[in-house]
Amino acid sequence: DAKTTQPTSMDCAEGRAANLPCNHSTISGNEYVYWYRQIHSQGPQYIIHGLKNNETNEMASLIITEDRKSSTLILPHATLRDTAVYYCIVSENTDKLIFGTGTRLQVFP
Amino acid sequence: NAGVMQNPRHLVRRRGQEARLRCSPMKGHSHVYWYRQLPEEGLKFMVYLQKENIIDESGMPKERFSAEFPKEGPSILRIQQVVRGDSAAYFCASSPPGSKAFFGQGTRLTVV
């Protein structure tokens, strides 16, 4: 079973920041937080991952709380093409990813 | 550097036939993973392979399903005697050792 809890769905206006929360209260010390997304039945796309420090790349930022029990994925300027299902996964590596149900993000004009 | 290549993209098989799904990992990637996504469901891990070795097949159905990743050539997921319940999207991912996995665009299998 997935070790994360995410809201089922969220809406975001185009051009605004999308903040997607994830709870992972049972995360262990050597587990990373990974984010993937799946756009309309395409293959999952890697977004970002982190261990305990906040991370930023060209796609998104990842904010992990100090106790590591939750995190937030931030898409700073959402576009219509960011409409997708976003998966938060905790794992030591990507050898066996356990996907939950994710958050369905709908970006509207 | 091409991404993970899967073929065919769409495959139709009659009940009882065999389905062979191919996955060519990204260049330099020695680890391959297969996942299955049933209609309206999430992705489920099936198997993790390295060259010529099955590392973890805990998600593979016990019968009719097999996977290989030979020394040369693509990884193959083989489903024998397909049934309607095998209809799904099958995704392959690859990674270098100890790094993040990248997914292909999947093969959509339809059993009629």
| Contact call for B101 and A97, based on CB within 8 A | yes
| Contact call for A94 and B100, based on CB within 8 A | yes
Shortest Cα–Cα distance, B42 to chain A (Å): 6
Residue B55 tokens read as: 């590392």
Residue B4 tokens read as: 């993970």
Rg (CA), chain A: 13
**Is A1 near chain B, with CB under 8 Å?**
no
Q: With H, G, I as helix, E, B as strand and everything else as coil, classify residue B69.
A: coil
Q: With H, G, I as helix, E, B as strand and everything else as coil, classify residue B86.
A: helix
Which tens digit of pLDDT belongs to each residue from A1-34?
678 999 999 999 999 999 999 999 999 989 999 9
Encode chain B (112 residues) as per-residue pLDDT tens digits. 579 999 999 999 999 999 999 999 999 899 999 999 998 888 999 999 999 999 999 999 999 999 999 999 999 999 999 999 999 999 999 999 888 999 999 999 999 9
| Contact call for B4 and A43, based on CB within 8 A | yes
Residue B90 tokens read as: 């099958």
Which tens digit of pLDDT belongs to each residue from A56-73?
999 999 999 999 999 999
Strand order in the sheet with A61-64: A18-23, A70-75, A61-64, A55-56
Q: What is the pLDDT of residue B5?
A: 97
pLDDT at residue A49 greater than cutoff 60? yes
**Residues A35, A21: Cα–Cα separation, whole Å:** 11
Out of B44, B45, B104, name the one closest to residue A43 (CB): B104
**Residues A77, A17: Cα–Cα separation, whole Å:** 5
Best mutation target among A45, A94, A98 (most B Cβ atoms within 10 Å) is A94
Nearest CA in chain B to A101: B42
Strand order in the sheet with B5-7: B5-7, B19-24, B75-79, B65-68
- Residues in chain B with CB shorter than 8 Å from the CB of A48 are none
**Residues B6, B4: Cα–Cα separation, whole Å:** 7
**Residues B41, B21: Cα–Cα separation, whole Å:** 20
